[in-house]
Amino acid sequence: MRSFPGPALEIVDRLRAAADANPDRAIAFQGSPGANSHRAATEARPDALPLPCFSFEDALEAVKDGRAGQAIIPIENSQHGRVADIHFLLPESGLSIVGEYFMPIHHALMGLGQGPFEAAYSHPQALGQSRLYLRERSIVPLSYADTAGAAAFVAEKGDPKLAAIAPAIAAELYGLNIADTHVEDSDDNMTRFVILAQKPAALAFDAAVATITTFIFEVKNIPAALYKALGGFATNGVNMTKLESYQEGASFSASKFYADIIGAPGDPAVDRALEECRFHSKELRILGTYEQGRKRG
C-alpha cells in the first residue's frame, strides 16, 4: 500500500480505513484513487467501499485474505487488446468471476502547466490507447503502474515538462491542469472488467437469463487437438465469444486457452460441449458463470 506516490497516500489511507471497517462491502481495484478501475468499481458496485491496491496481485490477494469481498479487474480493451498477465493471474488466484462491467474510457492529458510536454506517464494500456496522439506531438510515452498514480507522480515530481494521461478526475484530485481531453485514439474506446469473489455466483441455469461462462483449458499435444476440443461447441450450437491462447512455462509444447461462451452449465448443450472439450484436453477449469454485462450477438 505504501508504494503509492505521495499525493495519493492520504486518499488511499482514508479509503483503506473505510474498507477495513467493513471488508465484506469492500471492492479492491488496482491503481490510485481516480484511476479508471476506481471509477469502474464505484459504477459497477455503487454500494461498495473501493479499496485501492498498487498491483493486480494486491487486489486479488485482498479478496483471498478477506480484506475485500470482491475485486474488479480490467481484462481487455477494445482498442489495445487484453491486459497483460491477466490470463495468468486469474487462474492462479483461485477466485471466481461473478460479474462483468463494460466502461467507456476517455483519457485526459494533464500536467502542472499547459504544455508543451516532453514526456507523458501512464499505464501501458492508456499509453497504447493514445499512441497516435502522443506520436503526433512528439511526446515520449513512459510507463507507470496506473493512470491516476501517474498523475500523482507528475504532481510529486514538480516538473512542468512532464504530463500524465489519466481520467479527468485525477487532475482535480492531484492539483494538475488539464491540457487536453479525449486524447484516446478511438472514440469507441471500451474496457471490459471482471468482478471476482472467493465463491462462485449462485447462478443456476435459466434460459431466460443471458449468461457468460469463462473457462481455461490446455489441449493435448497431438495433431488437431484444438479442432477436436472445440468441435463440441459447434455441434451443440454453443456460441464462443472469446478464445485466446497463451503459453505457460518455457516448454512451448502446448498452448493454454482462455475462452468465453454464451450459456451456463446445466444447459444440456453447454454440458455436452464442455464435456467434449474436457475429453480432448489435459485440463479444463471453469473460472465463473455470470450474467452478461453487455449483450453479445
Q: Which of the following is catalytic: 191, 211, 213, 289?
A: 191
* Residue indicated by cell numbers 461462462: 213
Cα separation values, 178 from 140, 145, 149, 239, 251, Å? 18, 20, 16, 44, 48
Q: With contact defined as beta carbons under 8 Å apart, do 284 and 277 qualify?
A: yes
Helices (H) and strands (E) in the chain, counts: 10, 15
Q: Which of the following is catalytic: 54, 153, 193, 233?
A: 193
Q: With contact defined as beta carbons under 8 Å apart, do 61 and 32 qualify?
A: no
Is 193 marked active-site? yes
Q: DSSP letters along 34-55, please?
A: TSHHHHHHHHH-TTSEEEEESS
Is 191 marked active-site? yes
State the Cα–Cα distance between residues 197 and 60, nearest whole angstrom: 9
Three-state SS at 82 = strand
Q: Which residues are catalytic?
A: 191, 193
